[in-house]
A = this chain, B = another copy of it.
Amino acid sequence: MERSVTSDSETRRRMIEAASRLFQACGYRGTSWRQLVRESGTPWGSIQHHFPGGKEELGIAAVEHGAGLLGQFLESCLVHASSPAEALRTWFAATTELLESQDFKYGCAVAAVALDIDESTSTLQSTCSKAFESWEGILARGLQNSGIPQPRAQALATTCVAGFEGSLLLSRARRSVDPMRQTAEALCELVEQAVGRSRSAR
Q: How far is the CB of A92 from chain B (nearest CB, A)?
A: 11
Residues of B within 8 A of A164 (CB): 166
A179 at the interface (CB under 8 A from B): yes
Chain A interface residue count, Cβ-Cβ cutoff 8 angstroms: 48
**What separation, in Å, do the CA atoms of A162 and B182 have in the docked complex?**
10
**What separation, in Å, do the CA atoms of A172 and B155 have in the docked complex?**
17
Q: Give the interface SS of chain A, mostly helix, strand, loop or mixed.
A: helix
Of all chain B residues, which has the CB nearest A122? B175
Q: Report whether B118 and A173 are in contact in the complex, using a CB–CB cutoff of 8 Å.
A: no
How many copies altogether? 4
Q: Report whether B186 and A129 are in contact in the complex, using a CB–CB cutoff of 8 Å.
A: no
Q: How far is the CB of A2 from chain B (nearest CB, A)?
A: 23
A91 at the interface (CB under 8 A from B): no
Of A156, A167, A186, most B-chain CB atoms within 10 Å: A186
Instruction: Please list the residues of chain A having a beta carbon within 8 angstroms of any beta carbon in chain B.
Output: 25-27, 29-30, 105, 107, 111-112, 114-119, 125, 128-129, 132-133, 154-156, 158-159, 161-167, 169-170, 172-175, 178-179, 182-183, 185-187, 189-190, 193
Besides A29-B30, A115-B169, A158-B179, 11 new A-B residue pairs in contact (Cβ under 8 A), listed by A number: A25-B118, A27-B29, A27-B116, A105-B119, A107-B115, A155-B185, A158-B167, A162-B162, A162-B170, A166-B166, A190-B190
